[in-house]
Amino acid sequence: MTPTRHIPVSMLLASLLILLAPPTPHITAATTSPAVDIDQIRSKQWHAAHLGLREAHRITKGEGITVAVLDTGVQPHPDLKQNLLPGADLSDEGGDGRQDRDGHGTGMAGLIAAHGQSQARGALGIAPKARILPVRFKKDSRGGTADGLREAIDFAIRNGAQVVNISSAGAPDVQMQQATQRAAQANVVIVAAVGNMPSDRHVGFPAAYQYVVAVGGIDRSGTHAEVSVIGPEVDVVAPAVEIYSTSIGGRYRVGTGTSGATAIVAGAAALVRAKYPYLPADEVVHRLTATAIDKGPPGRDDQYGYGVVDLVAALTADVPPRGFGSAPASTPDGAGSTTAAADRPRADGERTATVRGLVTLGVLLAAGGAWALFARHRRRSDDPPPRISR
């Protein structure tokens, strides 16, 4: 007979506490990307042609916009270093964020703001004249904590970022959620990855939070990428399969996952902010969703969100403010009801017309103001943006 083994009560209590303790929320990168060496990186960046990047760059290249990349750091790659600002290293190693031993952060920064090395060589980002603020909150693409990410968001806010890129997905965390709210209050656009299958089954955080643009992915054919998580929080999608960008050591890398798609959308947000510098963050997001190319079932769906981000339409379409009905067709000059006054200060000669317009607007607001305020605070799934006829 096996003798009875007596376990001290203290040991039982300790074991129970371990089992009941909530797990520390970790943030994992939403991509896997082996480094590759290629000579003609520009020709490998299929997403650029797919998104009409050349035409978008005739309008703006992201001048004057700072995008914070919250990741593994950003190395001064030859294709990127002219746009790289000193940032912060929030790990225990210290520094200014311009150190990256993993390559993930450097890759995301390149997708956003790589300027290349000549007219046709080197990697090219979505907003090649935007500035990158590197905030290193993890040492590798699978590391990082919610506390570290929260601190990184706050650093980005304090240091003038207009767009924040988070190519990571993790567990919910109250303080991290509060940081995203502070960013929204500070007029900052936050873009985050929804996560990757099969390791993720639901839209991760912070992407699932209300004030964050949740980005999924498409493949080369423009259809839903199998790697991309689906869910009611998805806002827009962008290329996510075989995406080439910068890496450490002056090399290049190819990656598949919603990390790359997120960086592409962050670059798109930078373009919109450069074109319309007086447009508030929530209207920048609205412009991206309202002009997205609808995919799947009509309207918003859990695979594509509002659709594939459309760079040119986001920069040129006439988009009314949120909550004020459907948008008319896009116009060639890019003037829109949310942006006619948002892309430049008013001249003195416009003041008389402005006064008359304000009187009319006051009448409209008296009838519709309460509805507008309500509409702006509804959850995204209940507030489909107006579609753009193209």
Q: How far apart are CA 375 and CA 352, in angstroms?
A: 31
Question: Which pLDDT belongs to residue 382?
Answer: 43
The separation between CA 208 and the C-alpha centre of its own chain, rounded to angstroms, equals: 12
Q: Which CATH class is domain 27-316?
A: alpha beta
Q: How far apart are CA 156 and CA 368, in angstroms?
A: 36
Domain boundaries, the chain: 27-316
pLDDT digits (tens, 9 = 90+) for 302-355: 999 999 999 999 999 999 988 765 433 333 333 344 544 444 443 434 333 333
For the record, the structure tokens of 289 come out as: 């969703």
Question: Which pLDDT belongs to residue 35?
Answer: 58
pLDDT digits (tens, 9 = 90+) for 337-352: 454 444 444 343 433 3
Q: How far apart are CA 74 and CA 248, in angstroms?
A: 8
Distance between first and last Cα of the chain? 81
Question: Which pLDDT belongs to residue 212?
Answer: 99
For the record, the structure tokens of 375 come out as: 């509409």
Q: Which helix (H) or strand (E) holds 355?
A: helix 351-376
Question: Which pLDDT belongs to residue 119?
Answer: 79
Question: Which pLDDT belongs to residue 138?
Answer: 87
Instruction: Give the residue numbers marked as catalytic.
Output: 71, 104, 259
Q: How far apart are CA 258 and CA 35, in angstroms?
A: 17
The strand order across the sheet containing 66-71 reads 88-89, 131-136, 66-71, 163-166, 189-193, 212-218, 236-239
10-residue mean pLDDT series, the chain (390 residues): 43 36 48 59 95 98 99 97 97 90 97 92 96 93 85 98 97 97 98 92 96 98 97 98 95 95 99 98 98 97 98 98 55 42 41 38 38 36 42
Q: How far apart are CA 79 and CA 135, in angstroms?
A: 19
Q: Which helix (H) or strand (E) holds 110?
A: helix 104-113
